[in-house]
Amino acid sequence: MIRPPYRRSSLRAAVALLAFCSAAAALAAAAPDTLEQRVAACTSCHGARGEGSPDGVLAPRLAGKPAGYLLQQLEYFQSGQRRHAPMEYVVRQLSQPYLRQIAGYFAAQDLPYLRWPQPAVPAEVLRRGEQVVLHGDPARAVPSCVSCHGDKLTGFEPMMPGLVGLSSGYISNQLVSWRTHTRAAEGPYCMGVVANRMRESDIAAVSAWLASHAPAADMHPQPAAAQTTPLPGWCVMGHSEVNP
Amino acid sequence: MKWLRRGVGLLVVLLLIGAAAWWYLARDQRAPSTPVQREADAAALVDPARIERGKYLATVGDCAACHTARGGQPYAGGRSLATPFGDVPAPNITPDADTGIGQWSFDDFWAALHLGKGRHGQLLYPVFSYTSFTRVTRDDALSIFAYLKSLPPVNQPAQPTGLEFPYNVRSSLVAWRALYFKPGVYQPDPAQSPQWNRGAYLVQGLGHCNECHAPRDSLGGIEQNQHLTGGQIPQLDWYAPDLSTRSGGGLEGWSAQDVIDLLKTGQSSKGSAFGPMADVVRLSTQHMTDADLQAVATYLQALPPRAPAAPVAFPQAASHEQGGKLYAKHCADCHGDNGQGVAGIYPPLDGNTSVTGPTSINAIRSVLLGGFAPATAANPRPYSMPPFAQQLSDEDVAAVVSYVRQSWSNKASAVAPVEVSRSRHTPVD
Angle, in degrees to the nearest 10, between helices B256-265 and B290-301: 130
Question: Distances from the Cα of B335 to the Cαs of A38, B328, B345, B389, in angstroms?
Answer: 14, 10, 10, 19
> Is the model's pTM score more than 0.80?
yes
Cα diameter, chain A: 101
- Judge whether residue B216 has pLDDT over 80: yes
For A35-111, which CATH superfamily applies? Cytochrome c-like domain (1.10.760.10)
pLDDT of residue A21: 44
Residue B87 pairs in a beta bridge with B82, B162
Backbone angles phi, psi at B105, to 5 degrees: -95, 170
Element (H, E) at A52: none
Q: What is the tens place of the pLDDT at every residue in A116-157?
A: 777 889 999 999 999 999 999 999 999 999 999 999 999 999
Containing A47, the helix (H) or strand (E) segment is: none
pLDDT > 70: percent of chain B: 91
Q: Which position has the higher pLDDT, B164 or B69?
A: B69
Q: Is the pLDDT of residue A26 over 90?
A: no
Q: Are A51 and A45 in contact (CB under 8 A)?
A: no
Residue B176 has pLDDT above 70, yes or no: yes
Higher pLDDT, B253 or B223: B253
Question: What is the arithmetic mean of pLDDT over B310-329?
Answer: 92
Where are chain B's structural domains? 29-180, 194-301, 321-422
Q: Where are the alpha helices (DSSP H) in B336-428?
A: 353-356, 361-369, 394-405, 417-422
Residue range B351-373, pLDDT digits in tens:
999 999 899 999 999 999 999 99
**Residues of chain B with C-beta less than 8 angstroms from the C-beta of A39:** 384
Q: How far apart are CA B114 and CA B183, in angstroms?
A: 7
Annotated binding site of B for heme c: 63, 66-67, 209, 212-213, 331, 334-335
Count of CB atoms within 10 A of residue B34's CB? 9
Q: Are A71 and B385 in contact (CB under 8 A)?
A: no
- Percent of chain A, pLDDT > 90? 65
CB spacing of A95 vs B380 below 8 angstroms: yes
pLDDT band at B225 (very low <50, low <70, confident <90, very high): confident
H or E stretch at B86: strand B86-89
Contact B205, B295 (CB under 8 A): no
Average pLDDT taken over every residue of chain A: 85
Higher pLDDT, B401 or B170: B401
Residue A236: which of A202, A191, A187 has the closest Cα?
A187
Q: Is the pLDDT of residue A52 over 80?
A: yes
Task: Give the CA distances from residue B314 to residues A171, B101, B360, B411, in Å, rounded to whole numbers and listed in that order.
Answer: 49, 54, 14, 7
Q: Which CATH number fits domain B194-301: 1.10.10, 1.10.1740, 1.10.3470, 1.10.760?
A: 1.10.760
Is B358 near chain A, with CB under 8 Å?
no
* Lowest-pLDDT choice from A10-14, A163-167, B42-46, B206-210: A10-14
CA angle B181, B186, B190 (to 5 degrees): 135
Does residue A14 register a pLDDT over 90?
Answer: no
Least confident range of A125-134, B265-274, B300-309: B300-309
d(CA B65, CA B130): 15
Question: Which of the two residues, B121 and A240, has the higher pLDDT score?
Answer: B121
Inter-chain Cβ pairs, chain A and chain B, closer than 8 A: 97
pLDDT tens figures, B25-41: 444 455 667 888 888 88
- Whether B194-301 and B321-422 share one fold: the answer is yes
* B27 φ/ψ angles, rounded to the nearest 5 degrees: -120, 25
Across the interface, whether the CB atoms of B70 and A80 are under 8 A apart is answered yes
Tell me which chain A residue has its CA closest to the CA of residue B371: A90
Q: Which amino acid is at A76?
A: Y
How many other CB atoms are there within 10 angstroms of residue B257's CB atom? 12
CA distance A228 to chain B (A): 33
**What is the C-alpha to C-alpha distance for residues A90 and A85, in angstroms, rounded to an integer?**
9
Quote the CATH superfamily of domain A123-235.
Cytochrome c-like domain (1.10.760.10)
Å between B319 CA and nearest CA of chain A: 25
B181: left (phi over 0), alpha (psi -120 to 50) or beta: beta
User: How far lies B41's CA from each of A98, A182, B34, B49, B52, in Å?
Assistant: 42, 47, 11, 14, 16
| A30 contacts B336? CB cut-off 8 A | yes
- The separation between CA A38 and the C-alpha centre of its own chain, rounded to angstroms, equals 18
Tell the CATH topology of B321-422: Cytochrome Bc1 Complex; Chain D, domain 2 (1.10.760)
Model confidence band, residue A228 (pLDDT cutoffs 50, 70, 90):
confident
Could you give the residue range(s) of every CATH 1.10.760.10 domain in chain A? Answer: 35-111, 123-235
Q: Averaged over B198-211, what is the pLDDT?
A: 98
Residue B330 pLDDT > 50, yes or no?
Answer: yes
- Count the Cβ atoms, other than its own, within 10 Å of residue B9: 18
pLDDT of residue B5: 63
Mean pLDDT of B139-168: 94
Sign of the torsion formed by the C-alpha atoms of A121, A122, A125 and A131 = positive
For chain A, percent of residues with pLDDT exceeding 70: 82
pLDDT at A188: 72
How many other C-beta atoms are found inside a 10 Å radius of the C-beta of residue B269?
A: 16
- What is the rounded CA–CA span in Å between residue B54 and residue B45? 10
- How many CA atoms, within 13 angstroms, populate the side-chain half-sphere of residue B329? 13
